[in-house]
Structure 1
Amino acid sequence: MNLYPLKFNPIFKERIWGGNKLQTLLHKDVSGETIGESWEISDVKGEPSVVAEGALKGKTLQELSEIFQSELLGKKVYDAFGTKFPLLIKYIDAKRDLSIQVHPNDTLAKERHNSFGKTEMWYVMQADEGAKLMVGFNQKVSKEDYQVHLKNNTLTEILNFQKVKKGDVYFLPTGRVHAIGGGIVLAEIQQTSDITYRIFDWNRVDAAGNSRELHTDLALDAIDYTFNKNYKTDYLAVENTTSTLVDCPYFTTNLIPFTGELTLNHDEKDSFVIYLCVKGNVAFKTQGYKETLSFGETILLPATIKNIKISADEASELLEVYIK
Structure 2
Amino acid sequence: MHALYPLKFEPILKEKVWGGKRMSSLLGKNIDHLSNCGESWEISGLTGNVSKVRNGFLAGNDLSELIEVYMGELLGEKVFDMHGHSFPLLFKFLDADDDLSIQVHPGQNMAMERHGQRGKEEIWYVVHAEPSAELIIGFQEDSSEETYLKHLQNNTLKDILRTYKVQAGDAFHIPAGQVHTIGKGLTICEIQQASDITYRIFDWNRPGTDGELRKLHTGEAAEVIEYKAGEHKINYPDTPNEPVELIKTPNFTTRLLSFYQNLELDYFFVDSFVVYMIVEGSCTISCPGFSDKLKTGDSLLIPAEINAIKLTPDHSCKLLETFISNQA
TM category, shorter? over 0.9
Give the distance between the partners of 2:276 and 2:97, measured in 1 at CA: 25
3-state SS, counterpart of residue 80 of structure 2: helix
Give the distance between the partners of 2:218 and 2:296, measured in 1 at CA: 38
What letter is aligned with 2:182? I
Please report how far the alpha carbon of residue 46 of structure 1 lies from its aligned counterpart in structure 2 after TM superposition.
Answer: 1.0
CA contact (8 A) 1:239 1:256 kept: yes
Give the distance between the partners of 1:106 and 1:212, measured in 2 at CA: 25
TM-score for the superposition, normalised by structure 1:
0.98
Please report how far the alpha carbon of residue 61 of structure 1 lies from its aligned counterpart in structure 2 after TM superposition.
Answer: 0.3
1:225 aligns with 2:227: yes
User: What residue is the counterpart of 2:268 in the other structure?
Assistant: 267
Give the distance between the partners of 1:96 and 1:199, measured in 2 at CA: 17
Give the distance between the partners of 2:227 and 2:234, measured in 1 at CA: 19
Give the distance between the partners of 1:118 and 1:275, measured in 2 at CA: 20
User: What residue is the counterpart of 1:172 in the other structure?
Assistant: 174
Q: Which runs of 5+ in 1 are unaligned?
A: none
3-state SS, counterpart of residue 72 of structure 1: helix
Equivalences for 1:1-324 in 2 at 5 Å? 1-31=2-32, 32-206=34-208, 209-228=211-230, 230-324=231-325
1:276-319, Cα deviation, whole Å (9 max, x unpaired):
11110110010110011110100000000000110012121111
What letter is aligned with 1:257? S
Please report how far the alpha carbon of residue 154 of structure 1 lies from its aligned counterpart in structure 2 after TM superposition.
Answer: 1.4
What letter is aligned with 1:57? A
CA contact (8 A) 1:237 1:255 kept: no
3-state SS, counterpart of residue 109 of structure 2: helix
Please report how far the alpha carbon of residue 161 of structure 1 lies from its aligned counterpart in structure 2 after TM superposition.
Answer: 1.2
Q: Which segment drifts farther, 174-183 or 25-34? A: 25-34
Runs (4 or more) in structure 1 with deviation over 4 Å come to none
Q: Which segment drifts farther, 146-155 or 203-212? A: 203-212
What letter is aligned with 2:153? K
Give the distance between the partners of 2:149 and 2:72, measured in 1 at CA: 46
Please report how far the alpha carbon of residue 206 of structure 1 lies from its aligned counterpart in structure 2 after TM superposition.
Answer: 3.8
Please report how far the alpha carbon of residue 138 of structure 1 lies from its aligned counterpart in structure 2 after TM superposition.
Answer: 1.1
CA contact (8 A) 1:260 1:313 kept: no
3-state SS, counterpart of residue 260 of structure 1: coil
Give the distance between the partners of 1:166 and 1:255, measured in 2 at CA: 13
Paired-residue identity, %: 46
Please report how far the alpha carbon of residue 144 of structure 1 lies from its aligned counterpart in structure 2 after TM superposition.
Answer: 1.0
Please report how far the alpha carbon of residue 207 of structure 1 lies from its aligned counterpart in structure 2 after TM superposition.
Answer: 6.4
Give the distance between the partners of 2:238 and 2:322, measured in 1 at CA: 16
3-state SS, counterpart of residue 65 of structure 1: helix
Change (3 A) 1:207 1:232: closer
> Alignment length, in residue pairs?
323
TM-score for the superposition, normalised by structure 2:
0.97
1:37-89, Cα deviation, whole Å (9 max, x unpaired):
00000001111000001100001000001100000000010000001000000
Q: Which runs of 5+ in 2 are unaligned?
A: none
Please report how far the alpha carbon of residue 2 of structure 1 lies from its aligned counterpart in structure 2 after TM superposition.
Answer: 1.6
What letter is aligned with 1:124? V
Give the distance between the partners of 2:321 and 2:126, measured in 1 at CA: 15
1:143-167, Cα deviation, whole Å (9 max, x unpaired):
1111111122211111111110011
What letter is aligned with 1:267? F
